[in-house]
Structure 1
Amino acid sequence: MELLNRTFIAPLDREDLFAIIKEIDNIVDALETVAHRFEIYGVEQIKPEAKILSEMIINCTKELKSVVENLKDSKNTKLIKEKIIEVNRIEDEGDIVYRNAIKKLFSENRDKPIEVIIWKEIFGFLEDTLDACEDVANVIEGVVTKNA
């Protein structure tokens, strides 16, 4: 934020950059929350669905990295929009993985309530992280549309 206040950036308003940075920070916060849950609960074995959701988060953040790198050049609007669509697609797919993970968790662990509680929370935070990625994409989409 200090660098933003000291730097002149012509293509985007400072308010738009602040909104983007704030949403990116929400991704970082969500990832920290997930990491802390693994530590707090002493999770030693990762469920396959958590791995899938984690890969989706990685893919979303790679797409967002590309979007941010291309924000400087207004000629890259088409590429930016394609990347934003991909982030939204991944997040939608993540919703399906999340719902199926919860359904499987409850059906296969009826006699393990503590495990259900732990993994329901972890899956929820992983899905929240994907939502945060989509929020960044949505803010950037609005900024790009505004400046087109």
Structure 2
Amino acid sequence: MSNIQERQKEIVEEFSIFEDWMDRYEYMIDLGKSLPLIQDQYKTDENIIKGCQSRVWVYGAMDNDKLDFTADSDAIITKGIIAILIRVFSGQKPEDIIGANTDFIDEIGLKEHLSPNRANGLVSMVKQMKMYAIAYNSQQNKA
């Protein structure tokens, strides 16, 4: 399985194929459609991302020593955004998620092409995924 930097590089390369932002949005929508849905039991208030204009649920659970994420959103673009983040962070060790930079978001121009509310939501999604990693990392270190 590839590491976070390799996944980010793949995403940057994929987005570089599209010259027009409408094509990039379409690509994000397609990514969102392929997102494995979060189980209904995890669509709770404690798993909802604060600071997002649409409703986004993110749930993380450990599988062996790696953190796996599932998510859903009621907005199709937002669903694409979270699909990108899950692709980068899911299946990675908590300490790698904590230490990862997210420069690839700027490289693909995502933040600058989102509304301010969606850009804030993107930051909140990354923050929440890193919070899961911090929580699971501290549990591992206690064991």
Shared topology, TM-score over 0.5?
no
Between structures 1 and 2, the one with greater helix share? 1
- RCO higher in structure (CA 8 A, sep ≥6): 1
Which has the larger Rg?
A: 1
TM-score normalised according to structure 2 size: 0.40
TM-score, L = length of structure 1: 0.39
